[in-house]
Amino acid sequence: MKKRKVMKWVNNIVTTVLFVLLISVATMVMVTKISGGEPEMFGYQLKTVLSGSMEPGIQTGSIIAVKPGGDMTRFKANDVITFQEEDGKLITHRITEVQNSGDHVMYRTKGDNNNAEDSSPVLSGNVVAEYTGFTVPYVGYLVNAIQTKNGAFFMLIPGILMLIYSGFVIWKALSELELKQKRNQESS
Catalytic residues: 51
Query: Residue 143 burial by CB count (10 A; 0-12/13-18/19+): exposed, middle or buried?
Result: buried
155 near 22, Cβ under 8 Å?
yes
Other C-beta atoms lying within 10 Å of the C-beta of residue 139: 15
Query: Residue 103 burial by CB count (10 A; 0-12/13-18/19+): exposed, middle or buried?
Result: exposed
